[in-house]
Structure 1
Amino acid sequence: MRVFLLLFLLFPIVELALLIKVGSAIGVLPTLLLVIGSAILGSVLLRVAGLATAWRAREKLARGELPEQEMLEGLTIALGGGLLLLPGFISDIFGVFCLIPFTRRLLVNKLRQRAAEQAMRQRAFADELARQTRPGSARPDAARPDAPRPNVIEGEYERRD
């Protein structure tokens, strides 16, 4: 959390320093035109790519499929367009990476992979917790009455064909 806070505070300073450096190298007017041009480009790309992704998601929904890839791509497109709207060159570079289809798909696939790994870790933790709280087993958490217990209904059944 502290690293994120440090980066959050450091990012505008680095952006401003780079804007000053570029402005002193190419001049104030070309730098302003670059910043305004990237904002306009970001809004246009955000609209075009966002609409294309929305249409793909709508087609998947019409086929009865879950448009998870399209939803994550739409989120990445929104992030990229927002970064292009921010003044500064570093945010523009990250915004372009979010809007290029190849890098956007790489980013989305990496995000899906990390989410799947996180779900597996949570599932393993929940399975271990259920194993520890199973009635009749040697419970290491027996001293803790507030330990979570699964909802289990025991019973018998008979199959009649």
Structure 2
Amino acid sequence: MRLLLPFVILPILEIALFIQVGGLIGVLPTIALVIGSSLLGVAVMRRQGMVAAMDVQRAMQEFRDPARPMAHGALVMIAGLLLVVPGLFTSALGLLLLVPALRELLLGWLGRKAGAAGMRYDYRSTASVDFGDVPPRQRRGAGWQDEEIIDAEYSVQDDPPQPVRQGLTDQQGPGAASGRRGNSGWTRH
């Protein structure tokens, strides 16, 4: 019943606002206002959707937490959706959500509410890896350089003598009977 209440109250509120505003400014300006807010909502969702996606991508490239850009992007998309829905009350809510300071306040309130409800999110890895005493470092930002460079040398060895080389053939497949060297990954071609 609690979830059904907004769906009953919202249409009644919208109808009452249409009547009041229509009486003040007239029917055609009221209809133009609703159509204009819908067009604005579509434009906001198209433009801000791309901006939000780029903000999330930038945060991930800089190894920052993408939660805040994602939350702002979600609120902007909700604002656009509220503007698209025909109605004056929903359009007013959509316009309020477009104000960055109000979005920040709403996100802070939602964060406190989620924290009070015991919802905690941790983005750290829970896997434990034993690489000695020093934990593995995370890559930080575009100017990051590896401080632990391992210097190594290698050399190419000649093919082994003929009897040893015959043991390097694949024993299955079309070349098994002829003794042809296979593609096992261990043979050199």
What interval of TM-score do these two structures reach, taking the shorter chain for normalisation?
0.5 to 0.7
| Offset at residue 71 of structure 1 (A) | 1.2
What do you get for the CA RMSD once the two structures are aligned?
1.7
Map of 2:80 onto structure 1? 81
Separation in structure 2 between the aligned mates of residue 41 and residue 76 of structure 1, nearest angstrom: 16
| Offset at residue 24 of structure 1 (A) | 2.3
Amino acid at match of 1:118: A
Q: Secondary structure at the match of 1:119?
A: coil
Map of 2:130 onto structure 1? none
| Offset at residue 73 of structure 1 (A) | 1.1
Q: Secondary structure at the match of 2:95?
A: helix
Identity of aligned residues (%): 38
For the pair 1:7 / 2:6, whether they are aligned, the reply is yes
| Offset at residue 61 of structure 1 (A) | 0.6
Map of 1:96 onto structure 2? 95
Higher relative contact order (CA 8 A, sep 6+): 1
Separation in structure 1 between the aligned mates of residue 10 and residue 93 of structure 2, nearest angstrom: 13
**Which deviates the most, 15-24 or 34-43?**
15-24
| Offset at residue 22 of structure 1 (A) | 1.3
| Offset at residue 120 of structure 1 (A) | 5.8
Which of structure 1's runs of 4+ aligned residues deviate more than 3 A? none
Amino acid at match of 1:45: V
For the pair 1:68 / 2:71, whether they are aligned, the reply is no
TM-score normalised by the chain length of structure 2: 0.59
Amino acid at match of 1:40: L
Map of 2:110 onto structure 1? 111
| Offset at residue 57 of structure 1 (A) | 0.9
Q: Which runs of 5+ in 1 are unaligned?
A: 122-161
Q: Which runs of 5+ in 2 are unaligned?
A: 121-189
Map of 2:23 onto structure 1? 24
- Report the count of equivalent residues: 120
| Offset at residue 89 of structure 1 (A) | 0.9
Amino acid at match of 1:87: P
Amino acid at match of 1:24: G
Map of 1:52 onto structure 2? 51
Map of 1:34 onto structure 2? 33
Which string of whole-angstrom CA distances, capped at 9 and with x for unpartnered residues, describes residues 100-134 of structure 1? 1111111112112222222269xxxxxxxxxxxxx
Separation in structure 2 between the aligned mates of residue 54 and residue 111 of structure 1, nearest angstrom: 22
Structure possessing the higher radius of gyration over alpha carbons: 2
Contact 2:48–2:77 at 8 Å: present in 1 too? no
Are the structure 2 counterparts of residues 74 and 120 from structure 1 closer, same or farther at C-alpha, using a change threshold of 3 Å? Answer: closer
Q: Secondary structure at the match of 2:2?
A: helix
Separation in structure 2 between the aligned mates of residue 6 and residue 89 of structure 1, nearest angstrom: 19
In proportion to residue count, which structure has more helix?
1
Map of 1:127 onto structure 2? none
TM-score normalised by the chain length of structure 1: 0.68
Map of 2:175 onto structure 1? none
Which string of whole-angstrom CA distances, capped at 9 and with x for unpartnered residues, describes residues 133-155 of structure 1? xxxxxxxxxxxxxxxxxxxxxxx
Separation in structure 1 between the aligned mates of residue 36 and residue 64 of structure 2, nearest angstrom: 38
Contact 2:49–2:77 at 8 Å: present in 1 too? yes
Are the structure 2 counterparts of residues 8 and 65 from structure 1 closer, same or farther at C-alpha, using a change threshold of 3 Å? Answer: same
